[in-house]
Amino acid sequence: MKSFTKVKSIVTPFDQVNVDTDQIVPKQFLKLIQKSGFGKYLFYNWRYDSNEQPISDFVLNDSKYQNSKIFVTRDNFGCGSSREHAVWALQDFGFSVIIAPSFSDIFYSNCFKNGLLPIQLDSKIVDSIMNSNSEIEVDLESQTITTDFQTISFEIDPHKKKVLLEGLDDILLTLEYENKITDFEKKSNVPSVL
Amino acid sequence: MSKTLFEKIWDSHIVVEKENGPSLLYIDRHLVHEVTSPQAFEGLRMNKRKVRRPDLTIATMDHNVPTNDRSLPIIDQTSSIQIKTLEKNCQDFGINLFDIDSPYQGIVHVIGPQLGITLPGTTIVCGDSHTSTQGAFGALAFGIGTSEVEHVFVTQALWLEKLKPFEIRVEGKRKNPFAVTAKDIILSIIKKIGTAGGTGTVIEYTGEGITDLSMEQRMTICNMSVEAGARAGLIAPDEKTFDYLRGRKYTPENFDELVSVWKKDLYTDPNAKFEKSFTLKIDDIVPQVSWGTNPGMTSDVTDTVPDPKEFAKGDLAQQKSAEKALQYMDLKAGIPITEIQIDRVFIGSCTNARLEDLIDASRVVKGKKVSEKVSAMVVPGSQMVKKQAEKIGLDKIFKDANFEWRESGCSMCLGMNPDILSPGERCASTSNRNFEGRQGVGGRTHLVSPVMAAAAAIAGRFVDVREMDLN
């Protein structure tokens, strides 16, 4: 996984609550067996009309946000299906940071496995960030967001922060505890399903 | 120290515990399907890794599989590739697969319990959010992403932040338990606590409203815990749980021994503390019908489509979302739910496609015909459900009423196979998600119970199933 340090860009304001992963990547694109190339399917049913033409007033079709790396949205982002394709699509499209007042559990966890940084902030602060027209900077090391007017701190679990900063392989980290897993298996007696 | 059932299962599965950090939790059962696993298997190959415990892993294909004649080739090339990929992956990594021709094929959350793979007190994961279904057996069962699928393949364990125990007490007795179902209970709960009401929690359902339910009905409740935002749903095992599991294909030989251990361990201690609680009284609840684009947007069948402003109770973001939902659903505030006409009926999914669901729906349908304007289908949750249903003649009842009787799979719950709504079509569906486009781009989904779906199929619109004549 690529390491994450700092990101500076304008924000893409996505002013909707309860955005579910069925919208982030519609089911017709879940049949692929690789992780790459999902950016073109991001919000597909909202981005394109029935003739596959871009819908002009949809925010991701606004050229102003073309190089944005920071996606700002509302409560309960990523609810519904566990599909990690949602994270792959946001990332492949160019986003590195998602800011929202709350996230759905599985989506939140999936972000960290792919180097996408989800930041949870009070909804009033999210409001102010959503309305900012100039670039903001997100610095994971110092856990701060800097806008023209203020510096905002955010919380993140230290283990998750380390994994993102160093781009660590989660599985490799867990394998350091392999002896403990083996010990656990010796005392547990779960029936086989083979 | 007093503990909740969730905390007992959690504590007994900790491999590594870190202060103020996540714990490494041992996973007893890993269920795999074709959509969320290919990238995980690819990760194994790239890193030359193996599946640590193939003996604790099972796979089936459910999301993509066609539900019509299975002797025909799969037309959709991408679906076909995904299905073949799962076959190859299971072969290469030594995983037990119930493939499209297996008598045990079915929706992964339906076959887990039917095969006795789902056991009380165990931890169960699958790359699918509705894994929560299996919490009905007193197992800690939850959905994970594809990276975590790969992690469980290699380590048979998972790092998890401790979730918070949330008690939802269901009190009272339904006046008409045939017409007011488990689906109506869970939709009523989601309507009250909201689709994010359970975020960061594991819900334990308690109270006589829950213990009164059969195992299949309990699965419907736990299934939709994720629609309330919770990671998992949980119901303490009792005699019904043990009776259900006795004598199934993978039920352990020392089952009775296990039962006595489970009886000693698997319940919430009387003084244990939940971090959150909510009580629903069910004496007066009525059949539910969703009108919007998330499962919290639900009304009583006797009610009207709400005004977005009233629905949102002052929350502007929610109001905007309800307005958008009404526009997508092509509905106006104030119209009675029973005036909403439908085009399609889908009885299926991991929420409501088990044998009891089909028996109940068939009682509504028997001797009647599906409205001429409506096309209706029944998709049993598994091949085992299908066979049992056919044995007691349910297929004939449905077919005589002009329902299509299909092979098992996820089907039109999410339409990854050819079973989809056309743009603008309106469907009474026994599934779990009414998200925009879920059942087909531009399709409009109303979530209901199997008996309400059956009644709507006959009437061509939503009707209060309590008022139907039953055979």
Burial class (CB within 10 angstroms; exposed 0-12, middle 13-18, buried 19+) of B288:
buried
Does the beta-carbon distance from A174 to B435 stay under 8 Å? no
Does this model's pTM top 0.95? yes
Of A32, A75, A106, the CB nearest to B129: A106
Q: Which chain A residue lies closest to B420 (C-alpha atoms)?
A: A28
Whether the CB-CB separation of B37 and B146 falls below 8 Å is answered with: yes
Of B15, B199, B227, the CB nearest to A181: B15
- CA separation for the pair B245, B264 (Å, rounded): 18
Kindly state whether A82 is in contact with chain B, defined as any CB-CB distance less than 8 angstroms. yes
- CA separation for the pair B417, B410 (Å, rounded): 8
Residue with tokens 């050819």: B418
**H or E segment and range at residue A12:** strand A11-14
Closest CA–CA distance from residue A77 to any residue of chain B (Å): 10
Residues B117-174: tens digit of each pLDDT: 999 999 999 999 999 999 999 999 999 999 999 999 999 999 999 999 999 999 999 9
Confidence band of A2 (pLDDT split at 50, 70, 90): confident
Tell how strand B201-206 and strand A97-100 pair up.
unpaired
Which residues in chain B have Cβ-Cβ distances shorter than 8 Å to A159? 18, 21-22, 159
Which residues in chain A have Cβ-Cβ distances shorter than 8 Å to B42? 33-35
Residue A119 has pLDDT above 70, yes or no: yes
Does the beta-carbon distance from A31 to B82 stay under 8 Å? yes
Confidence band of A189 (pLDDT split at 50, 70, 90): confident
Kindly state whether A166 is in contact with chain B, defined as any CB-CB distance less than 8 angstroms. no
**H or E segment and range at residue A129:** helix A123-130
List, in order, residues 6 or more apart from B469 with CB less than 8 Å away.
none
Of B105-109, B313-317, B342-346, minimum mean pLDDT range = B313-317
Kindly state whether A50 is in contact with chain B, defined as any CB-CB distance less than 8 angstroms. yes
Residues B84-104: tens digit of each pLDDT: 999 999 999 999 999 999 999
Give ∠ CA B452-B456-B460 in degrees, rounded to 5. Answer: 175
Confidence band of A159 (pLDDT split at 50, 70, 90): confident
- CA separation for the pair B286, B424 (Å, rounded): 28
Who has greater pLDDT, B238 or A170? B238
List, in order, residues 6 or more apart from B108 with CB less than 8 Å away.
B31, B32, B33, B60, B62, B126, B128, B131, B350
Q: Which chain A residue lies closest to B438 (C-alpha atoms)?
A: A22
Does the beta-carbon distance from A193 to B26 stay under 8 Å? no
Closest CA–CA distance from residue A90 to any residue of chain B (Å): 15
Kindly state whether A57 is in contact with chain B, defined as any CB-CB distance less than 8 angstroms. no
Is A170 part of a structural domain of the chain? Answer: no
- CA separation for the pair A47, A58 (Å, rounded): 6
Identify the pLDDT of residue B35: 97
Of B15, B81, B117, the CB nearest to A177: B15
Copy the structure tokens of residue B222: 């736990």
Tell me the residue type at A156: I
Does the beta-carbon distance from A190 to B28 stay under 8 Å? yes
Closest CA–CA distance from residue A105 to any residue of chain B (Å): 6
Is A23 part of a structural domain of the chain? Answer: yes
Closest CA–CA distance from residue A81 to any residue of chain B (Å): 6
Residues A49-68: tens digit of each pLDDT: 999 999 999 999 999 999 99
**H or E segment and range at residue A89:** helix A85-93
Burial class (CB within 10 angstroms; exposed 0-12, middle 13-18, buried 19+) of A173:
middle
Which residues in chain B have Cβ-Cβ distances shorter than 8 Å to A81? 128-129, 414, 433
Identify the pLDDT of residue B470: 80
Whether the CB-CB separation of B417 and B408 falls below 8 Å is answered with: no
Does the beta-carbon distance from A175 to B155 stay under 8 Å? yes
Residues B374-401: tens digit of each pLDDT: 999 999 999 999 999 999 999 999 999 9
**B9, B39, B311: best to mutate for the A interface, most A CBs within 10 A:** B39
For chain A, how many structural domains are there in total? 1
Neighbours of B16 (CB within 10 A): 18
Is A183 part of a structural domain of the chain? Answer: no
Copy the structure tokens of residue B420: 């989809």
Residue with tokens 């958008």: B324
Burial class (CB within 10 angstroms; exposed 0-12, middle 13-18, buried 19+) of B184:
buried
Does the beta-carbon distance from A23 to B15 stay under 8 Å? no
Identify the pLDDT of residue B471: 62
Query: CB contacts < 8 Å between A and B, how many?
Result: 195
Residue B10 has pLDDT above 90, yes or no: yes
Copy the structure tokens of residue A92: 């492949």
Confidence band of B71 (pLDDT split at 50, 70, 90): confident
Does the beta-carbon distance from A17 to B317 stay under 8 Å? yes
List, in order, residues 6 or more apart from B286 with CB less than 8 Å away.
B180, B184, B300, B301, B302, B464, B466
> What is the percent of chain A with per-residue pLDDT over 90, rounded to a whole number?
90
Which residues in chain B have Cβ-Cβ distances shorter than 8 Å to A30? 35, 63, 416
Confidence band of B292 (pLDDT split at 50, 70, 90): very high
User: Helix or strand or coil: residue B260?
Assistant: helix
Whether the CB-CB separation of B86 and B37 falls below 8 Å is answered with: yes
Does the beta-carbon distance from A27 to B438 stay under 8 Å? yes
Confidence band of B466 (pLDDT split at 50, 70, 90): very high
Tell me the residue type at B248: R
Average pLDDT value over all residues in chain B = 97
Is A98 part of a structural domain of the chain? Answer: yes
Confidence band of B220 (pLDDT split at 50, 70, 90): very high
Identify the pLDDT of residue A21: 98
User: Helix or strand or coil: residue B73?
Assistant: coil
Residue A193 has pLDDT above 90, yes or no: no
- CA separation for the pair B416, B439 (Å, rounded): 9
Neighbours of B423 (CB within 10 A): 12
List, in order, residues 6 or more apart from B445 with CB less than 8 Å away.
B290, B421, B427, B429, B431, B433, B434, B435, B438, B439
Q: Which chain A residue lies closest to B318 (C-alpha atoms)?
A: A17
**A156, A171, A176, A187: best to mutate for the B interface, most B CBs within 10 A:** A171
Strand runs (DSSP E) across B197-257, as ranges? 201-206, 232-234
Closest CA–CA distance from residue B276 to any residue of chain A (Å): 17
**DSSP 8-state code for residue A65:** G
CATH number at residue A61: 3.20.19.10
- CA separation for the pair B197, B214 (Å, rounded): 25
**Mean pLDDT, to the nearest integer, of B438-451?**
97
- N-to-C CA span, chain A: 34
**A50, A82, A183: best to mutate for the B interface, most B CBs within 10 A:** A82
Identify the pLDDT of residue A191: 76
Kindly state whether A184 is in contact with chain B, defined as any CB-CB distance less than 8 angstroms. yes
List, in order, residues 6 or more apart from B145 with CB less than 8 Å away.
A82, A83, A84, A87, A106, A109, A110, A113, B36, B127
**B86, B109, B146, B298: best to mutate for the A interface, most A CBs within 10 A:** B146
Q: Which chain A residue lies closest to B44 (C-alpha atoms)?
A: A171
Is A14 part of a structural domain of the chain? Answer: yes
Is A192 part of a structural domain of the chain? Answer: no
Whether the CB-CB separation of B380 and B358 falls below 8 Å is answered with: yes
Is A101 part of a structural domain of the chain? Answer: yes
Does the beta-carbon distance from A171 to B150 stay under 8 Å? yes
Does the beta-carbon distance from A175 to B154 stay under 8 Å? yes
- CA separation for the pair B354, B352 (Å, rounded): 6
**Mean pLDDT, to the nearest integer, of A129-157?**
95
- Whole domain around residue A109: which residue ranges? 6-157
Is A181 part of a structural domain of the chain? Answer: no
Closest CA–CA distance from residue B248 to any residue of chain A (Å): 12
Numbers of helices and strands, H then E, in chain A? 8, 8
Identify the pLDDT of residue A194: 63
- CA separation for the pair B426, A178 (Å, rounded): 52
Average pLDDT value over all residues in chain A = 95
Residue A192 has pLDDT above 80, yes or no: no
ipTM over 0.90: yes
Which residues in chain A have Cβ-Cβ distances shorter than 8 Å to B261? none
- N-to-C CA span, chain B: 53
